[in-house]
Amino acid sequence: MSEEIPYKIYLSEKEIPTNWYNIRADMKNKPAPLLNPGTLQPLTFEELTPIFCEELVKQELDNDTPWIPIPEEVRNFYKMYRPSPLVRAYCLEKALGTPAKIYYKFEGNNTSGSHKLTSAIAQAYYAKKQGLKGVTTETGAGQWGTALSMACAYFGLDCKVYMVKVSYEQKPFRREVMRTYGASVTPSPSMTTEIGRKINAEYPGTSGSLGCAISEAVEAALNLDGYRYELGSVLNQVLLHQTIIGLETKAALDKYNIVPDTIIGCAGGGSNLGGLVSPFLGEKIRGEKDYQIIAVEPASCPSLTRGVFAYDFCDTGHVCPLAKMYTLGSEFIPSANHAGGLRYHGMTPILSQAFHDGFMEARSVEQTQVFEAATQFARVEGILPAPESSHAIRVAIDEALKCKETGEAKTIVFGLTGTGYFDLKAYAAYNDGNMNDYIPTDEDLQASINKIPHFPGNLA
Ligand SMILES: Cc1ncc(COP(=O)(O)O)c(C=O)c1O
């Protein structure tokens, strides 16, 4: 074992980045703007501010400023759990017998259990600064809802969470964590919103999806005075906040002159992956360096690998704007896969554009293979990974095993976005041999892809 590189590379608090990195400033092909579905024109600041906080709308629309200062109050909160460790997976390397050098950036080292807190605290801060009473949101696996509940508690804001029904039922303890932080939690689709009642009537007994929950949360925010909606992924602003993951990773690697060959992350809406890879992708786009970047998604919800690149609604109820992204169609409701946080029909426009332009690869993996990797990882590295994060572990292991065959000592970095202590039903299904892999057929996908809006320039 090398003496030089420690198990965990920690940066000091002083090394917490002072700016987020806005990759859009360096992209030659900018992500397409959000469109107003009524006019098909780019959404303006004035149209977006009834839904989102003003400062966040500015960040959403800013394609030009490369570095955006992190407010002092947000950096102070970050000090409670950042910088997060970059871990050298010595034990996993040994177990695999690979010459590859594997590192993971561990974002589960805060009480909420995932990377989501990094954007939640920024979003709550801007809501507070604007003088709002509270915010509404959706949550899939429960990680984002937990993070936002915690952030709202810190700033004394009310938080109303619409939780995808399947997770609400599978994860009652997650719900209680949110309630303990003071949030109210409603299973989605619910009967408390117009759109929820409509979805329930159209798809009786549906287990819900992130797309449905988003529609409900937006409707609730629009109907409540002093509230705005906050989203945990997909949007440019969320990816921006998550770039702290990649900036810290790069700073830690630079300390030891480590240059990664391959960077891997799971991709739901794309915020953690986008955050992790942004500084590296920036170098790649600017032609300074080359890296292999791999997005990993569930075979049950394969937006990058089997979707189409088109303008589509961000939500099932069509109350949200149109975003140009890889999508399976906003009416696609994935099977009840255990990685709730990856059950989203689209992919953030920034990564969609980067993928479209050939800067990134994508793989889809089946959940039994994912849990096999999760179990293997837990037994040697000690951390019980979230099912979402385990998608990245699966591909990191696959790549390390390829190195074993070829004898290459590649450096692989992956994002370990969270812990899986609230996912034990999923682990139980795997341990009992009761886990299924449902892969949608081409017909299944075509049915929802056919419902993507057609207009001149879009699938027309
Ligand atoms: C632990 C964890 N990892 C990853 C994700 C995927 O989200 P994103 O693609 O926005 O990072 C989620 C989403 O809920 C999550 O909870």
User: Is residue 3 over pLDDT 70?
Assistant: no
Entry pTM: 0.96
User: Is residue 337 over pLDDT 80?
Assistant: no
Cross-strand pairs, 326: 309
How many whole angstroms separate alpha carbon 221 and alpha carbon 315?
15
**231-254 confidence digits (pLDDT tens):** 999 999 999 999 999 999 999 999
What mean pLDDT, rounded, does the chain reach?
95
How many whole angstroms separate alpha carbon 339 and alpha carbon 302?
13
Pocket of ligand 1 (CB under 6 A): 114, 140-141, 143-144, 233, 266-273, 341-342, 386, 388-389, 417-418
User: Is residue 295 over pLDDT 50?
Assistant: yes
**423-454 confidence digits (pLDDT tens):** 999 999 999 999 999 999 999 999 999 999 99
Atom 14, ligand 1: residue with shortest CA distance: 341
Which residue intervals of 357-449 are DSSP H helices?
A: 367-381, 387-406, 424-431, 442-449
* Count of other CB atoms within 10 angstroms of residue 274: 31
Residue with tokens 């990094």: 118
458: nearest Cα among 269, 357, 303, 308? 308
Cross-strand pairs, 185: 161
pLDDT at 1: 44
How many whole angstroms separate alpha carbon 174 and alpha carbon 107?
18
H helix and E strand count, the chain: 18, 15
Q: From residue 340, how far is each of 133, 243, 301, 306, 375 by CA, in Å?
A: 29, 23, 10, 19, 18
- What DSSP string describes 128-196? HHTT-SEEEEEESSSHHHHHHHHHHHHHT-EEEEEEEHHHHHH-HHHHHHHHHTT-EEEEES-SSSHHH
Q: What spacing in Å lies between the alpha carbon of 242 and ligand 1's midpoint?
A: 11
How many whole angstroms separate alpha carbon 350 and alpha carbon 308?
15
Q: What spacing in Å lies between the alpha carbon of 29 and ligand 1's midpoint?
A: 26
**What 8-state DSSP symbol labels residue 18?**
S
For residue 346, report the phi and psi dihedrals to the nearest 5 degrees.
-125, -175
Q: From residue 69, how far is each of 20, 127, 385 by CA, in Å?
A: 6, 17, 31
Residue type, position 397, single letter: I
Tokens of 59: 């960040």
pLDDT at 333: 82
Atom 4, ligand 1: residue with shortest CA distance: 388
State the sign of the Cα–Cα–Cα–Cα dihedral 142, 147, 150, 156: negative
For residue 316, report the phi and psi dihedrals to the nearest 5 degrees.
-70, -35
**143-175 confidence digits (pLDDT tens):** 999 999 999 999 999 999 999 998 899 889 999
Atom 5, ligand 1: residue with shortest CA distance: 341
Q: Which atom of ligand 1 is nearest to the CA of 270?
A: 9
Atom 1, ligand 1: residue with shortest CA distance: 418
**343-368 confidence digits (pLDDT tens):** 889 999 999 999 999 999 999 999 99
pLDDT at 460: 73
**Strand (E) positions, 183-244?**
184-188, 227-229
How many whole angstroms separate alpha carbon 321 and alpha carbon 313?
6
Q: What spacing in Å lies between the alpha carbon of 245 and ligand 1's midpoint?
A: 13
Could you tell which of 271, 297, 365, 423 is best to mutate to test the pocket of ligand 1, judged by most ligand atoms within 8 Å of the CB? 271
pLDDT at 335: 81
Cα–chain center distance at 292: 20
Q: What spacing in Å lies between the alpha carbon of 110 and ligand 1's midpoint?
A: 15
270: confidence class by pLDDT, cuts 50, 70, 90? very high
How many whole angstroms separate alpha carbon 47 and alpha carbon 42?
10
How many whole angstroms separate alpha carbon 181 and alpha carbon 153?
6
Cα–chain center distance at 34: 19
